[in-house]
Structure 1
Amino acid sequence: MKISVIMLTYNHGKYIEKAVQSVCAQQGDFQLEIIIGDDCSTDNTAEVIDELAAKHKEIKIFRPEKNIGMHANLKKCLSLAEGDYISMCEGDDWYISPYKLQMQMEFLEKNKDCVMCSHSYIEYNQKEDKYSTINYQQDYNGGGIYCFEQLVTEYKWTNFTTYMYRKEVINKLPEFIWELNGADYSFNMHCAVYGNLGIIKEPLSVYRAGIGQWSSLSLIKQQQDTLDFAYISKEHFHKYYNGKYDDIFDKRIEKSIKNLKRVKAKAFKNKIRRFFKIKEK
């Protein structure tokens, strides 16, 4: 078996070596391929990965002539992957178990109904220098197995670094997913059309929070973007699948509207509290 690990990076000079070394340290009964997509970084990322590639023959580097963005970078790297399974590792995240890839491959070999496998992870808040474990294994379908409807309506997605996919499912991805803002979410939703997502209970990687675009958004903006994404996803899935999943997306939209109202109400209450505290002073 061969596993291809896709690593997207842009200005990750401070973090990329740790990410790459954690992938190179993987052990198991498989051949490893690492494809790094460096989207014209302006820091020292290129120098760091060139040095790493000189030491590790399993590393392949893709560099576009100009910055092309995450979606195009991911699409190109996937087209270069030769593995039977495709895994992810963001350039600022890292694996913490040397058996992460082996465990996910074995899970997919055993669970033929699953087309992708994820796991719990540790979130590292860089601003606060704080670690916390995010356990995504839930009691669905006997524990840790999610179908398409559950994934969409409950929004049970982990971060990209936790995922492994069957290559044959990746080959079925429609072009429209690259037009959506949430490439990772739309990517996973489409894969879930062909089978389930399995979750391994153990945390096997670290997600670096607080430095990305999403982490910098307010809770209201995050909820608004989630709602907008649900509307756009429904539109695209409606066209591609002839309305087959409209009811499922309607449930997601209804929940997103409620979540947005709840977050706005909480923000308003906090604003009022701050106003009266200032007035008392």
Structure 2
Amino acid sequence: MRWHRVRPLDSTQKQQRVRHDITLLQRHYWLTGVLTKRPTYQAVLPVPFSCSPLPLPVCGQAALNTRIVGGQNTSVGSWPWQASLYWNGFHMCEGSLINSMWVLTAAHCFSSVHLGQQNQENVNPSHIILHPLYNSQTHDNDIALLKLNAAVNFTNYIQPICLADNGSTFYSGTETWVTGWGDVSLNVSPRSPVTLQEVQTPVVGNGICSCLYEMVNITITDNMICAGLLQGGKGSCQGDSGGPLVAQQGSVWIQAGVASFGCVETNYPEVFTRVSYYEDWINFTIHFTSSLPKTPQ
């Protein structure tokens, strides 16, 4: 098994310049409302969703997925959109490939990226874009995009995930899946298992989730979606931040959330950034960033 690495921007100055350019464009969008929307993937599904900009590959397909319900090792190629973010050679966070050029993750996660398995080429990121309203204290708008410097080649081991659009609803009790290389037990070593882990977990309604987190003075906003077992024991944990929360509609997998905070504690479900609320921002960022020059390496 071999992973390929995507190296980060090599200076804080470069990152700040890119973020400044994007912020100016975002302000223009908020003032004018001008946005060329990426196409919506047309499918008859209970939960509508949208996918990648043209050229539009098949998304949300996991041909090698042979999962079994419960927390466990995954089969090779089961979750082909999964990305591992590294810092100084160590796994720190997760991400998801949403098309051949872009990785979706949490705003507090940035570093090197590993995608897929077997005979992959190296690719460098050219832009790192945090949501301009991300608040590290409240965890609100904990979402970010990483643009690769070159398109990845799709294989059975590397495929994009479909994204839930802004009309999507994931009701309480909807079965979802969380995947990652993060901690397999709270406050217990070793962390970062070699094999990608998976667990099935139900959506917890925002009303219940909000009441639970009020006890620790954390506000659950409409921008968030909660999932997990109230008795704890299974779910996302440290190192899984930025990873996808996905649900299956027929044969298609759809990303509902981006792991933000929480770690399988009793009465505290894991909290994810609600992807459907950021459809316009994702479309906007991808559209306008395509016109920016690549950051010099």
User: Which structure features the higher share of helix residues?
Assistant: 1
Question: Which structure is larger by alpha-carbon Rg, 1 or 2?
Answer: 1
Considering Cα pairs closer than 8 Å and 6+ residues apart, tell me whether 1 or 2 has the greater RCO.
2
Given the two structures, how large is their TM-score scaled by the length of structure 2?
0.26
TM-score scaled by length of structure 1: 0.27
Q: Specify which structure has the higher proportion of strand.
A: 2
